[in-house]
Amino acid sequence: MSDATPSIDPLSAAPNAAESVTVRMYRGLLGDCFLLVHTCNGETFKALIDCGVLQCIGTKDSKPKTRQGVSHVLTVAADLAKTLSGGLDLMIATHEHYDHLSGFILGYEALKDIEIKALWLGWTENLNDPKAQELSDRTKKAVSALRRVANNPKLAADPRLSDPVQTIRSLLQFQGGLEDPPAETKRPMSCFAVLEWLKMKAQGQVRYLEPGEVVAFGLDDRLKAYVLGPPRDRKLLKQLDPDPKAPEVYLAQRGETLAIEAALSALEESAALDDAEFPFARRFHTRPEQRTFSTAAAYDRDERRNIDHEWLGSAESLALKIDGDVNNTSLALAIETADKDVLLFPADAQVGNWLSWHNQTYPATWAPGAVPPVTIDDLLSRVVFYKVGHHASHNATLKAKGLALMTSPRLAAMIPVVEDVATEQKTRLNPAGWAMPYAPLYKELMLRTAGRLIRGDGELDAEREAFSARPGGFTLTYADETSRDPLWVSVTMTVRERSARFGAAG
């Protein structure tokens, strides 16, 4: 890529236009929705990476910004339907979370008729894979138990337990609605059903990607996708937080990890769930005379305490663990252009997923005498665009083995975040709401990108000024250059090297 940048809209490229790659991010969403467009000589290849928004749990008054985002995704879906009227060449669905897939639930009417020519998923979504099936079954079992907690009438009636129960309900909403039978002509209601619906839409053109794979795609296969994760190693799949002896993220805080693991282990050890009163293993059951409380006023010793506070705290921690586990199944990709620049899309990958990238080469196996494989250190050193992981949370961008290796002076980044929505997500565990973006990470990103940092709620003049003063080979474009709140923002990168089919370099 060069510092020469096209002034045309890459989605309607004129003949003889330079080869380019454009990343469009839909704004106003605490959720991922990215359109990747490869363009040359009037031809375009369009790939959509996720489409979702954070769900709204609570009243209109308690979360007005979140509710606005849920409504806003309908406008996004309508614009996507128009943009993709000629068909979507590739759909990439990274993991089963509402803020990545709910566009196909809420915006189903707008998106239902789009032709999907191919679908990429991580190996964890392949239900014919025994290890993937085991992971799926374990998650479903845990979610089923937690739904019993969230819907237990005795818990719901006890105002002293409202905060942890509400936290559990909120976290469960990341799964979407209850699983419903998939059908190509029926609106999916759960994240699982969205993936099944997408598989049917792709008409068998589904690829389950394995870590270490290298896949050519785009016009004339001029792009390469290096599959970084999710890992096959179960230990790394379950590692959400850093090792306190060797912290790798921007907040080395394990919190309730021990309680989480204890609750998860107990649930996995249970051969069958008990009745609705006791949805977890019997080791968590207590009789009234066994219970101890720090103060007499804390909780009454009565039959309403069939599930005591400590037990419910474990359930709350388990809900957090499930949420993180699903994040760690994210399909993480490094996309290389013909001139060897790299675009990094890690979805919501957390610590274990990131660490696993260093345990393999790309491709993972190769024949003797073949070109040596690529390493993750090499790929990260060539990253010029970073889709910031998990809305710039504290544990989804590695430090020494991640961001510190992105040494290109041209680095730019996008964060799919709306800070006002994040701060509305107040619970007992997060009384100030979610720290998105996390301040120390945000400061480091600003330094490494020289200010070329685009947000879903970004200040437009500041973004324009940063890219104007330090273009780095990017053209910055908004859906409406006169609007103070445009629907989307995009960066376009011109590719220096051209294939024989597309002629000499321009």
**Position 94 in a domain:** yes
> Tell me, what's the pLDDT at 256?
37
Whole-angstrom Cα distance, residue 236 to residue 354?
9
Q: Mean of the pLDDT values across residues 63-79? A: 95
Range from 127-141, 286-300, 317-331, 409-423 that averages highest in pLDDT: 409-423
Same domain, 300 and 449: no
Q: Mean of the pLDDT values across residues 27-54? A: 96
Same domain, 240 and 345: yes
Same domain, 461 and 332: yes
Neighbours of 438 (CB within 10 A): 22
**Position 504 in a domain:** no
Burial of 481 (0-12, 13-18, 19+ CB in 10 A): exposed
> Tell me, what's the pLDDT at 378?
98
pTM above 0.85, yes or no: no
Q: How confident is the model at residue 289 (pLDDT cuts 50, 70, 90)?
A: very low
Neighbours of 109 (CB within 10 A): 12
> Tell me, what's the pLDDT at 305?
40
285, 307, 323 - which closes a domain:
323
Domain that holds residue 395: 10-135+176-249+324-494
Same domain, 411 and 440: yes
CATH number of the domain residue 235 falls in? 3.60.15
Strands ordered across the beta sheet of 412-415 = 214-217, 223-229, 332-336, 342-345, 383-387, 412-415, 453-455
Question: Which of 347, 322, 320, 319 is CA-nearest to residue 332?
Answer: 347
Strands ordered across the beta sheet of 20-26 = 206-209, 119-122, 90-92, 43-51, 33-40, 20-26, 488-494, 474-478
Structure tokens at 39: 């363009």
Over residues 302-350, the pLDDT tens digits come to 333 444 455 566 566 666 667 778 889 999 999 999 999 999 999 999 9
270, 297, 323 - which closes a domain:
323
Residues 383, 406 contacting (CB under 8 angstroms): yes
The helix (H) or strand (E) run that includes residue 332 is strand 332-336
Q: HSE, CB side, 13 Å, CA atoms: give it for residue 440.
A: 11
Q: Is 28 a residue whose pLDDT tops 60?
A: yes
> Hunting for tokens 């021990």 — which residue is that?
258
Q: Is 362 a residue whose pLDDT tops 90?
A: yes
User: For the chain, what is the domain count?
Assistant: 2
Q: Is 146 a residue whose pLDDT tops 90?
A: no
Over residues 421-458, the pLDDT tens digits come to 999 988 777 788 889 999 999 999 999 999 999 999 99
Same domain, 266 and 374: no
